[in-house]
Amino acid sequence: MAKGYRPVDRDQVFLFPPDMREWLPPDHPVWLVIRVVEQHLDTGAFHAARRTGGAGAPGYDPDMLLAVLVWAYANGVTSSRRIEQLCGTDVAFRVICAQNLPDHATIARFRGCFGEAIAGFFAEVLGLCARLGMGQLGVVALDGMKIAASASKAANRTEAKLAELARGIVARHGQADAAEDELFGDARGDEVPEDVWRPGRRDERIRAALASLRAEREAAEKAQQDQAEAFRARQRAGRRTGCSPGRGGGGAGRGEAGPGHRRPAGQDRRLGGAECPVAGADRHAAEEPATAASQPACAGPAGGRPAGAGQAAPGRRLPPGR
């Protein structure tokens, strides 16, 4: 049995500046991805298309954006908005960005400018990881994609398979961005209103929202109780009750199914609508004028023919052969 709870102190400051190299263990695969992108693979084509030295704020390093996309694709993330979120909340993405977080528009523009090149680059990273003996990178399994040292047909087929996989992932990224742009516009989509996230107003807004939800729930319960009471009052007065309320109906009226009683097939009715046909012969008998009592007992349905002369009386089925 625990003695108590460990303290959760989010206001505690670090005694020493945080070191990102300590955020993840040395064998975490993101370190390998960063090293491969920045030191071993050719990224010159991505740098050549970028302009530097002009006025304005510095741009994002293409190597960093490439490593972000490679790590995102390896983990099945194909949404620029989701990648932006992870760059602020996921430790591995934060290490790649070095706390220099790109927004979703920057990520989408980079993917749009270098779509085919990014797909080829991602396939090259996957092939290198497979050659290094890794069984998996993120959620991409590499066990069946081990590339042989010789340039055999099997190796070529494996590389083609990796290239096809990479092109499909980059294509899904473009489709996801297009759908989310149509849905959210320029916004990210998960923004918290400013007066909600600011500490000075946060508690006040939460209490007001809880009070509003509670008031709506109580109003709905009161309306339901009033409806049930009106239904019971009509029952006591012997008036037509109509449909029983969904809850608290106070028992079944004429033609209504009682508690635990299942309505037979064909006696369906629409609850809550303007029309509510009530099944059962007793309701129909109560609403129709009592004209049957004035007819002779032997009178048939039409033409005055007795019911016993080869015809079944109302509600009676003829025996077989009659």
pLDDT for 154-189, tens place per residue?
555 577 888 888 999 999 999 999 999 998 888 877
Boundary of a domain, candidates 206, 241, 276: 241
DSSP 21: G
**259 falls in which pLDDT band (50, 70, 90)?**
very low
**% of the chain with per-residue pLDDT over 70:** 70
Q: Does residue 198 sit within a domain? A: yes
Tell me what percent of the residues of the chain surpass a pLDDT of 90: 35
For range 275-303, the mean pLDDT: 44
Residue 176 lies in a domain: yes
Give the Å distances, CA to CA, from 149 to 89, 155, 192, 210, 248.
Answer: 39, 8, 52, 64, 77
Do 75 and 140 lie in one domain? The reply is yes
Single residue among 191, 222, 253 that ends a domain in this structure: 191
Range picked from 47-51, 79-83, 285-289 for highest mean pLDDT = 79-83
- Asked if the structure places residue 102 within a domain, the reply is yes
169 and 208 belong to one structural domain: no
Instruction: Compute the distance between CA of residue 6 and CA of residue 277 in angstroms, rounded to an integer.
Output: 64
Judge whether residue 248 has pLDDT over 70: no
Tell whether 139 is covered by a domain: yes
Asked which of 66-70, 142-146, 195-199 is least confident by mean pLDDT, the reply is 142-146
If asked whether residues 174 and 228 sit together in one domain, one would say no
d(C-alpha 166, C-alpha 158), whole Å: 12
What is the bridge-based pairing of β-strands 140-141 and 136-137? antiparallel
Least confident range from 87-91, 293-297, 318-322: namely 293-297
Q: Are residues 148 and 78 in the same domain?
A: yes
* 48/156 same-domain check: yes
CA–CA distance, 111 with 77 (Å, rounded to integer): 13
pLDDT digits (tens, 9 = 90+) for 13-62: 888 788 888 899 999 999 999 999 999 999 999 998 877 766 777 889 99
- Do both 131 and 224 map to the same domain? no
pLDDT of residue 161: 84
**What are the residues whose beta carbons fall under 8 Å from the beta carbon of 145, sequence distance 6 or more?**
126, 127, 130, 158, 161, 162
Q: What is the pLDDT of residue 70?
A: 96
3-class SS of residue 137 = strand
Q: State the burial class of residue 250 (Cβ atoms within 10 Å of its Cβ: 0-12, 13-18, 19+).
A: middle
Alpha carbon of 137 to those of 97, 140, 187, 218: distances in Å?
19, 5, 31, 53
Q: 149 and 163, same structural domain?
A: yes
What is the structure's pLDDT at 56?
73
In this structure, are 66 and 163 located in the same domain? yes
* 50 and 115 inside one domain: yes
- Is the pLDDT confidence value at 7 over 60? yes
Compute the average pLDDT of residues 5-16. 81
For residue 11, the 8-state DSSP code is T
Question: If you average pLDDT over residues 193-210, what whole number do you get?
Answer: 83
Q: Is the pLDDT of residue 89 over 70?
A: yes
How confident is residue 240, by pLDDT bands cut at 50, 70 and 90? confident
Domain count, the chain: 2
Whole-angstrom CA distances from 125 to 87, 267, 303, 313 are: 21, 66, 94, 87
Predicted local distance difference test score (pLDDT) of residue 19: 86
- Measured distance CA(68)–CA(196) in Å, rounded: 30
Query: Which has more pLDDT, 210 or 199?
Result: 210
The reply to whether 28 and 156 lie within a common domain is yes
131: in domain: yes
Mean pLDDT score of the chain: 76
Whether pLDDT at 279 is above 60: no
The arithmetic mean of pLDDT across residues 284-293, rounded, is: 44
At 11, the pLDDT band (50, 70, 90 cuts) reads confident
Quick one: 140 and 34 in the same domain? yes
Residue 271 counted as domain residue: no
Distance from the first to the final alpha carbon of the chain: 84
Residue 252 has pLDDT above 50, yes or no: no
> Which of residues 225 and 261 earns the better pLDDT score?
225
Residues 158 and 99 in one domain: yes
Q: Is a pLDDT exceeding 50 seen at residue 297?
A: no
CB 47 within 8 A of CB 62: yes
Per-residue pLDDT averaged across 93-98, rounded? 94
Pick from 16, 115, 30: nearest CA to 71? 30
The answer to the question of residue 184 being in a domain is yes
Could you tell me if residue 266 is inside a domain?
no
Name the one residue in this structure whose structure tokens are 């090149």.
117
Tokens 């070095």 correspond to 98
Domain that holds residue 211: 194-241
